[in-house]
């Protein structure tokens, strides 16, 4: 097992090398002069030359890449062209917000998705099955930005019961320890903040979690239907086990592998892909950061963020692969 994890970590090196080359090329693949596209059409030649000098754009590509890769290895992601802030620090500041939102959305998606999928499978063709699967179809088809805006319109504007943006209200004090606000408020026992943070999380969490929830529900249902037909379920019945043991232990553990694959992929996607949701709800995470960087043509920021997102994605998939072993002992890592 340890060997397998080490081997997988070694295999990360070529992947990350590839990702770094791709993100590095990004700046050179833009049509025209990168310096000009960053500073805009009205920039003067001296400004452009200064930026080129700053970013080292006049050096040969290989030297540029060496510098880029070298500084990444030292944990230095460079600085923003626009704000001159250190990108590593900026990302570290925003990552907890994105993680908190993603984890919240995935907890929603996994718990509701799996439960709905299991019930739909066990009560196949019942009204619950039809309703939840139609709902799931809607869920995967809804554009997130539309769902987000509709929720804001309904819950914030019409009913005024949920906040429309941000992570926490201005008038709430919270001592930040981990930067995961929900966790911080629990640690410090600050229940007013807990309630406030939770109310901020609900709408973006639902918006972000809807698609994975729908996919997980459908995947769970089809996988469960398959498993419930297996001989070992008949054996479990013949042994006199209670229904809930059969469904939630014997069947679900077998049905979980394909669901786990989906969860891993969706989790990785959400961590990097919360761009729309974070933008709509003004959520101060990396999704919004990269959105602002793209709009402002702040290429170093875009490069670094994409690199970080790729790393997270690869790590989440590694964790997924390791979890397989728990759910299916037949999988051998040797």
Q: Is 240 in the site for other proteins (CB under 8 A)?
A: yes
Among 89, 107, 245, 319, binds other proteins (CB under 8 A): 245
Tell the smallest beta-carbon distance from residue 231 to other proteins (Å).
4
Q: Which stretch binds other proteins (CB under 8 A): 22-30, 64-72, 137-145, 250-258?
A: 250-258
Q: Which of 41, 45, 173, 231 binds other proteins (CB under 8 A)?
A: 231
Tally Cβ neighbours within 10 Å of residue 271: 24
| Token output for 150 | 């509709």
The verdict on 232 binding other proteins (CB under 8 A) reads yes
Q: Which is nearer to other proteins, 84 or 330 (CB)?
A: 330
> Which of 159, 242 has the CB closer to other proteins?
242
Among 7, 28, 123, 253, indicate the residue that binds other proteins (CB under 8 A). Answer: 253
- Write the burial class of residue 94 (CB in 10 Å: 0-12 exposed, 13-18 middle, 19+ buried): buried
Residue 213, φ and ψ in degrees, nearest 5: -60, -45
Cβ distance to other proteins smaller for residue 122 or 197: 122
Q: Is the dihedral of CA 65, 67, 72, 78 positive or negative?
A: negative
Residue-by-residue DSSP string for 149-206? HHHIIIIIIIS--S--SSSS-TT-----SSS-HHHHHHHTT-HHHHHHHHHHHHHHHH
Q: Which of 254, 277, 279, 305 binds other proteins (CB under 8 A)?
A: 254
Stretch in the footprint of other proteins (CB under 8 A) among 114-122, 147-155, 229-237, 261-269: 229-237
Query: Scanning residues 270 to 329, which ones bind other proteins (CB under 8 A)?
Result: 327-329
For helices 144-151 and 191-228, angle between their N-to-C axes, nearest 10 degrees: 140
**28 versus 239: smaller Cβ distance to other proteins:** 239
Q: Mask of contacts with other proteins, 14-53, x by CB under 8 A?
A: ----------------------------------------
Q: Which is nearer to other proteins, 45 or 231 (CB)?
A: 231
**277 in Cβ contact with 290 (< 8 Å):** no
Helix, strand, coil percent values for the chain (each to nearest 5):
75, 0, 25
Sign of torsion over alpha carbons 62, 63, 67, 68: negative
Q: How many residues does the chain have?
A: 334
In whole angstroms, the minimum distance from the beta carbon of 5 to other proteins comes to 21
Among 12-20, 113-121, 236-244, 284-292, the segment contacting other proteins (CB under 8 A) = 236-244
Query: Please, what is the minimum distance in Å from the beta carbon of residue 212 to other proteins?
Result: 24
Judged by CB under 8 A, how many residues of this single chain contact other proteins?
20
Provide, rounded to whole angstroms, the least separation between the CB of residue 219 and other proteins: 18
Phi and psi (nearest 5°) for 41? -65, -30
241 binds other proteins (CB under 8 A): yes
List the beta bridge partners of residue 86.
79
Residues 6 or more apart from 273 whose CB is under 8 A from it?
Answer: 287
Chain residues that interact with other proteins, rule: CB under 8 A: 230-232, 234-242, 245, 250, 253-254, 327-330
């Amino acid at each position: 097992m340890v060997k397998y994890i080490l081997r997988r970590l070694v295999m990360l090196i070529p992947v990350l090398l590839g990702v770094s080359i791709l993100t590095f090329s990004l700046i050179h693949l833009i049509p025209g002069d990168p310096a000009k596209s960053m500073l805009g059409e009205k920039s003067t030649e001296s400004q452009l030359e200064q930026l080129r000098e700053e970013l080292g754009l006049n050096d040969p590509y290989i030297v540029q890449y060496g510098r880029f890769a070298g500084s990444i290895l030292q944990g230095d992601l460079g600085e923003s062209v626009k704000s001159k802030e250190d990108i590593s620090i900026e990302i570290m500041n925003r990552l907890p917000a994105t993680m908190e939102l993603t984890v919240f959305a995935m907890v929603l998606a996994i718990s509701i998705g799996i439960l709905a999928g299991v019930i739909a499978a066990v009560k196949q063709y019942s009204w619950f099955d039809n309703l939840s699967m139609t709902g799931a179809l809607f869920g995967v088809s809804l554009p997130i930005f539309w769902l987000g805006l509709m929720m804001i319109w309904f819950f914030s504007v019409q009913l005024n019961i949920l906040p429309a943006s941000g992570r926490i209200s201005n008038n709430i004090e919270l001592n930040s320890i981990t930067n995961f606000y929900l966790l911080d408020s629990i640690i410090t026992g600050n229940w007013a903040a807990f309630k406030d943070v939770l109310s901020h999380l609900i709408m973006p969490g639902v918006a972000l979690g809807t698609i994975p929830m729908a996919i997980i529900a459908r995947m769970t249902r089809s996988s469960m239907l398959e498993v419930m037909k297996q001989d070992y379920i008949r054996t479990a019945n013949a042994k006199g086990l209670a229904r809930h043991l059969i469904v939630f232990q014997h069947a679900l553990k077998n049905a979980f592998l394909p669901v786990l694959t989906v969860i891993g992929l969706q989790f990785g996607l959400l961590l990097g892909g919360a761009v729309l949701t974070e933008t709509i709800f003004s959520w101060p995470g990396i999704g919004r950061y990269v959105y602002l960087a793209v709009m402002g043509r702040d290429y170093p920021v875009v490069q670094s963020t994409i690199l970080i997102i790729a790393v997270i994605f690869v790590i989440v998939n590694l964790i997924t692969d390791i979890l397989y072993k728990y759910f299916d002992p037949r999988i051998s890592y040797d």
